[in-house]
Amino acid sequence: MADRQAFMASIRRALGRDAPGASVQPPSETALSLDPADLDARARAAANDASERSDELMDALARSAASAGWKVARVSTLEEAAGYIRSAALDVEAKTVVRSAHELLDSMGIDAALANVGIRAETMTAGDESGREALRETAFHAEMGVTGADYAIAETGSVALLARAEVSRLVALLPPAHVAVVERAIVLPSLDELFTLRRGAFYDGNLGSYMNIITGPSRSADIEQTLVTGVHGPGEVHMVLLE
């Protein structure tokens, strides 16, 4: 704490607010940011708006995702989704596919669909220390990772993944290919709605430890400004839009 007190004192000195009794409180907690008091209303409005405009948002997402480098597939049934994932896995000659424990993936019978063509599907779930080591090894050697998504953003062509119980951070990171399955109900117009909902989650006490917003493949232009994909994360990414 000594470090903190000295640090804050030096900031106040620099700001000329070190006189005893000088206020350190801004005029209001959020000052120029949106008021947390209206947060619930804003979150509800965002959700309603997104569901009313879902056709338009799905189209916008398909376009922005494609321009961000996703391969976009629009499918109307779970079977079709599983079929698409299977053929994508065959295309990369996958032997092992790791996946998150998203319910959506369970309900499409993805494990069986892959097993039919001789591909092993491993679900990454929580375990003890040695279990975690083993999972890392598995994910490292897998040719593809499959996840659901918590949100998708039409503005930017992104999916947002929350790390939480039963959803690994590594499925969409370690394998060279990633497939994200996006349901209509999770598509949001823009980043603003996403952060309104996340702020709401914080006030509800379930922000969780981690959120990753993914927009296209891993990329770099560090060598002569030449765009290269697949640096440390997946170089091949698919977004499956489930109508």
Partner 1 sequence: MKPKTGDFNRAAASALADADVQRNMRGLYDGFHMARERAAEATPNWEDLRDRARAVKAHTIEYLDHYLGMAAENVERAGGKVFFAKDADEASRYILDLAAARGVKTVIKSKSMLSEEMGLNARLEEAGVEPVETDLGEYLIQLRGETPYHIVAPALHLSKEQVADLLQEEIGGPRYERAEDLTAAAREQLRGKFFEADMGITGANFLVAETGTLVLVTNEGNGRMCTSMPKVHVAIMGMEKVVPSMEDMGMFLRLLIRSATGQRLSSYVTLVNGVRRDDDVDGPEEFHLVVVDNGRSKMLADPALREALYCLRCGACLNACPVYRKVGGHSYGWVYSGPIGAVVSPMLTSLPDAKDLPYASSLCGACREVCPVRIDIPRMLLHMRSDLAEGGPHSGSPRASLAERLTMKAWRLAVARPWMLRLANRLARLAQRPLVKDGRLRKLPPPLSAWTRHRTFPAVASRPFRDRWRSELRKSRRDG
List of residues 6+ apart from 179 with CB closer than 8 A: 85, 88, 144, 145, 146, 147, 237, 238, 239, 240
71: left (phi over 0), alpha (psi -120 to 50) or beta: beta
CA 135 to centroid of chain Cα atoms: 20
Q: Check residue 92 for interaction with partner 1 (CB under 8 A).
A: no
| Range in contact with partner 1 (rule: CB under 8 A) among 55-63, 80-88, 104-112, 195-203 | 195-203
Using the rule CB under 8 A, which residue among 94, 102, 196, 242 binds partner 1? 196
Q: Check residue 45 for interaction with partner 1 (CB under 8 A).
A: no
Say how many residues touch partner 1, by CB under 8 A: 82
Q: Check residue 147 for interaction with partner 1 (CB under 8 A).
A: no
Using the rule CB under 8 A, which residue among 57, 110, 114, 158 binds partner 1? 158
**H or E element that contains 86:** helix 78-91
Nearest approach in angstroms of CB 72 to partner 1 is: 15
Residue 49 or 80: the one with the smaller Cβ distance to partner 1 is: 49
Q: Is the dihedral of CA 107, 110, 111, 117 positive or negative?
A: positive
What 3-state class would DSSP assign to 104?
helix
Footprint of partner 1 on residues 48-87 (CB under 8 A)?
64, 67-68
Site string (2-41) toward partner 1, x via CB under 8 A: -xx-xxx-xxxxxxx-------xxx--xxxxxx-x-----
Residue 133 or 243: the one with the smaller Cβ distance to partner 1 is: 133
Nearest approach in angstroms of CB 135 to partner 1 is: 7
Q: Check residue 183 for interaction with partner 1 (CB under 8 A).
A: no
The burial of 49, by beta-carbon neighbours within 10 Å (0-12 exposed, 13-18 middle, 19 or more buried), is given as middle
Beta pairing class for 120-123 and 96-99: parallel
The whole-angstrom separation of Cα 183 and Cα 178 is 16
Nearest approach in angstroms of CB 240 to partner 1 is: 19
Nearest approach in angstroms of CB 185 to partner 1 is: 21
Using the rule CB under 8 A, which residue among 61, 124, 177, 180 binds partner 1? 124
Q: Which of 210, 229, 232 is nearest to 219 (CA)?
A: 229
